[in-house]
Amino acid sequence: METEISKNIDKAAQLLNQGHLVAIPTETVYGLAGLFGSIETYNQIYEVKGRPSDNPLIVHIGEKSWIYDLIDSAPTSLEILLDHFFPGPLTLILKKAYHISPSLTANLPTIAIRMPSHPLALELLRKVGHPIVAPSANLSGCPSPTRAEDVLEDFNGKIPMILDGGPCQIGIESTVLSLLDNKPCILRPGIITEEAIENVLQTKLGSSGKEVLSPGMKYRHYAPKAKVSLIYPHDSVPFSSGWVLSFENELKGAIPFNHQNFYQLLRKADRENISHVFIFVGPILSKEKALMNRIQKSAGG
Ligand code: TXA
Ligand code: MG
């Protein structure tokens, strides 16, 4: 199968409706999309990604109103969150409607839903007229893709089309927020911070505790082939042993990175056969919760 990189939305919609997988741009990372409602499509996604079957998929919606058909009941915080953060990089975990297939939710009684803000993703969703399921469009365990070329690296010849929406603006995956308990809590940190959600809801969020609540968080993730190590201000800087990255310009002489290009740099390190990537954790980076979460996971933590 030839994988085509194209901006043709009509073709992407047609392929999805025929049961094929299409990689799509979102504002966070590219997604590996399939049509909602087909167990064969879900199985195909798990197979192509090499994803463990106990890690459920996110449903993407094209209108806020689509959410109500997917969930069992609406907690009071839902309307406020939809008003403030949809469309955008926030995924909500809610009790699923009875008709949602357990193959989609990995047998959990809950469902993950988000409405992407990328104009091409929204246009596609509205053209298809149905929700789309989409995990990040990377091989399981690899850094998420933030450009069409990154998707091609992982899935060339395995999917018919990548809808090209240019580089993703945010560059790391959405914040995952559970609304299952009285106190909402963050299961995966992202660009929408705990503080931002607390401001909007006018309440403190709960803590997700020690147990794994978001199945995806237990796997080693976001990891390149290169070894990734963290270094701190008192460590000597191993400039001659590999690449040294620092958040923006925290460390002089290092390669600067930010949310947007972090995954791209990890992929580039692999293409250039860099064996060791050192990430300088200075005082500014140490406060970037979402990025620190990805960095720790890419280092195997
Ligand atoms: O930004 C994003 O969220 C991207 C774009 C493509 O939308 N998608 C993404 O999907 O990152 P994925 O499948 O790579 O990550 C989804 C995360 C996983 O950690 C998964 O375990 C969690 O959401 N998740 C999905 N359904 C869940 C549920 N019912 N309960 C708890 N966590 C859930
Ligand atoms: Mg992922």
Coil/strand/helix, residue 210: coil
* DSSP assignment of 77-100: HHHHHHHHHSSSSEEEEEEBPTTS
pLDDT score at 162: 98
Task: Quote the domain boundaries for residue 57.
Answer: 4-201
Q: How far is the CA of 88 from the centre of ligand 1 (A)?
A: 14
Q: Which ligand sits nearest to residue 190's alpha carbon?
A: 1
Average pLDDT over residues 271-287: 97
| pLDDT tens digits for range 84-140 | 999 999 999 999 999 999 999 999 999 999 999 999 999 999 999 999 999 999 999
Q: Which of 58, 187, 192, 208 to mutate to test the pocket of ligand 1 (most atoms within 8 A of CB)?
A: 58
Cis? peptide before 87, omega within 30° of 0: yes
195 plus 249 within the same structural domain:
no
Give domain status of residue 242, yes or no.
Answer: yes
Q: Which ligand sits nearest to residue 188's alpha carbon?
A: 1
Return the ligand 1 atom nearest residue 32 CA. 6
Q: Which ligand sits nearest to residue 28's alpha carbon?
A: 1
Residue nearest to atom 30 of ligand 1 (CA): 214
**Using a CB cutoff of 8 Å and minimum separation of 24, what contacts does 75-78 make?**
75/179, 77/179, 77/184, 77/201, 78/179
Q: Which residue has the tokens 């907690």?
A: 75
pLDDT score at 172: 98
Q: How far is the CA of 172 from the centre of ligand 2 (A)?
A: 10
Facing residues of 278 across strands?
Answer: 229, 244
pLDDT score at 1: 86
Residue nearest to atom 32 of ligand 1 (CA): 214
Count how many domains the chain has: 2
Give the global pTM: 0.96
167 plus 269 within the same structural domain:
no
pLDDT score at 132: 98
Average pLDDT over residues 161-168: 98
24 plus 165 within the same structural domain:
yes
Q: Structure tokens of 109?
A: 């009684």
pLDDT score at 207: 86
Percentage of the chain exceeding pLDDT 70: 96
120 plus 171 within the same structural domain:
yes
pLDDT score at 301: 73
Q: How far is the CA of 144 from the centre of ligand 2 (A)?
A: 6
Q: How far is the CA of 274 from the centre of ligand 1 (A)?
A: 29
16 plus 137 within the same structural domain:
yes
The whole-chain average pLDDT of the chain stands at: 95
pLDDT score at 216: 67
Residues 6+ apart with CB under 8 A from 187: 93, 176, 177, 178, 208, 213, 214, 217
Q: How far is the CA of 208 from the centre of ligand 1 (A)?
A: 16
Of 186, 201, 216, the residue that ends a domain is 201
Average pLDDT over residues 62-74: 98
Residues 6+ apart with CB under 8 A from 225: 270
190 plus 263 within the same structural domain:
no
Q: How confident is the model at residue 218 (pLDDT cuts 50, 70, 90)?
A: low
Measured distance CA(145)–CA(136) in Å, rounded: 7
Structural contact between residues 186 and 175, judged by C-beta atoms closer than 8 angstroms: yes
Give domain status of residue 207, yes or no.
Answer: no
- Please check the confidence at residue 211 and state whether its pLDDT lies above 60: no
Coil/strand/helix, residue 271: helix
Give domain status of residue 175, yes or no.
Answer: yes
